[in-house]
Amino acid sequence: MSQFIQAVVRQKMNAMIAIQADPLNILDLKSDTTLKIGREGQKRGGKLFAYTPNDLTYDQGRLLARGSLFQFNKDGALVTQETETLDLKSADFVLIRQNPPFDKSYLTKTFLLDHLPPSVQVINDPKGLRIVSEKLFILGFPDFIPPTLVTVDHQKATDFINAHQQVILKPLYEYGGRGIVYLHDQDPNIQAVLELYTTLYPEGFMLQKYLPQVKQGDKRIILVNGLPVGAFLRQPQTNQVRSNLRVGGTAVPVDLNTRDHEICEALAPFLKQWGLYLVGLDVIGNYLTEVNVTSPTGFASLEQLYDINAAVNFWEGLGV
C-alpha cells in the first residue's frame, strides 16, 4: 500500500464529521436517522461535532460552526463536550440534517456551505438541495406521477377537483404530512379551503388525484448513492389519509416491485449528478409522490423490520 493510499485511509478512519442538525437533546436516541448515522460514523473512528443551523457563521472567508464534540458511550447515551467553535474547512464531512421546511433560513445555510473547500464533502450537496424541490422535482417525471396540478388559481384548482372527484391538497414546502388535506368534489368547504391555502401559501400549492392505494400504505424507499437500500410501507391510521410516522402511521415490511425499480433507475442519474447521496422516495401504488432530500429518515424502520443497518451502507459508500 502506497504512502498516499495509507494517508487517505488514515484520514477516513479519523474523519471529522460535522453534523448540522436540530438540537441533539430533542432527537430520539432510538429512532433518529441522524443519530444512527453518527453512531456508525463513531464506530468507524470518526469524531462527531454537532451544531444547529443558527450557529453557522461566515466570517472573513471562514465558515465557523459553534457547537460541541459528542460521542455515544458504551450504554448508547449521548455525551457532549464543552461548546467550542469549529472552522468547517477542517471537517472531512458536513452532514445537513436539520428538519425542513426549506425556507429562507434553510436556503441561506446552503449558500453559506457552498464556500467550503472541495476537501470537505457536504451531504447532501447544497446545490442539489436548491435544485431538487421535494414536492416539485417529481414534475420532471410525468410518466411516474399521478395527475397533478400546481397553481394559485382557484378556478383551475376547482376544475381539477371536479375532474378527479377526489384529490389531495398539499403545500409545496412543508414536511412530515403538515398541511395535507383530502378534498372531494361534493365538499362544501372547497372554496374556503382554497382561499385559506392562497393566503397561507402564496407561492402556490399542489393538488394530486387521490390514490386509494394509500389505505394500504405509502411506500418509503431509501436510496444511498442512487441505489435502494430497503423500503417499508407507512400505513395510515383508520380514517386517515396521512401515513407519515410522525402522525401515527405504522411501518410494515414491503418488497420492491418492478415499477419501484423503474422509478429508482429513472431518478438515480439526476440524484447522483446533483450530489444527493441520501434520498427517500415516497410511492403510492404505482406513482411517485415526493422525493425527500433535505433530511430523509427511515433507518430505524429498516433496522426493526429487516435488521438492515442502512448507516453501514451510508458510510461504506463514502469510503469510511
Residues serving a catalytic function are 135, 170, 220, 234, 242, 282, 290, 292
Task: Specify the residue for cell string 410522525.
Answer: 246
For residues 132 and 203, give the distance between their C-alpha atoms in angstroms, rounded to a whole number.
16
Bridge partners of residue 70, in order along the sequence: 48, 80
Grid cell locating 21: 442538525
Backbone angles phi, psi at 234, to 5 degrees: -100, 105
User: Under a CB-based contact definition with an 8 Å cutoff, are residues 228 and 222 in contact?
Assistant: yes
DSSP-based three-state secondary structure for 142: helix
CA distance 140 to 153: 22
Q: What span, in angstroms and rounded, lies between the C-alpha atoms of 85 and 151?
A: 44
